[in-house]
Amino acid sequence: MTPRPTRVSHPRRERDTAVQLAVLSDRLEAAERRQRQLQNTIAAIGREAGVSVGCLCGHCEESYTLIKNGDMYCPRCGHRRSL
């Protein structure tokens, strides 16, 4: 293991960190926007198919449940219960 230099300020590193933070911030913003767009699309697909989107599946937590004809089910793991 090589000892790290113990300088007080790291201007280069701080600049790199600021750039990385800006990149991550942009990516987060883009991901959140994409998530909103997909939520809108999913809600629209549900309306057209006569299905509403329920809560997160408590069984697998990998998908939101779908509600149709008084039945709530998870399209991912198949867990089902009637309302």
Binding site for Zn ion (CB under 5 A): 57, 59-60, 74, 76-77, 79
Instruction: Report the nearest approach of Zn ion to the CB of residue 54 (Å).
Output: 11
Instruction: Report the nearest approach of Zn ion to the CB of residue 82 (Å).
Output: 16
When the beta carbons of 17 and 52 are compared against Zn ion, the nearer one is: 52
Q: Which residues does 76 contact at the CB level (< 8 Å), separation at least 6?
A: 57, 60, 62, 63
Instruction: Report the nearest approach of Zn ion to the CB of residue 2 (Å).
Output: 49
CA distances to 5, 13, 17, 29 from 1, rounded to whole Å, are: 13, 21, 24, 39
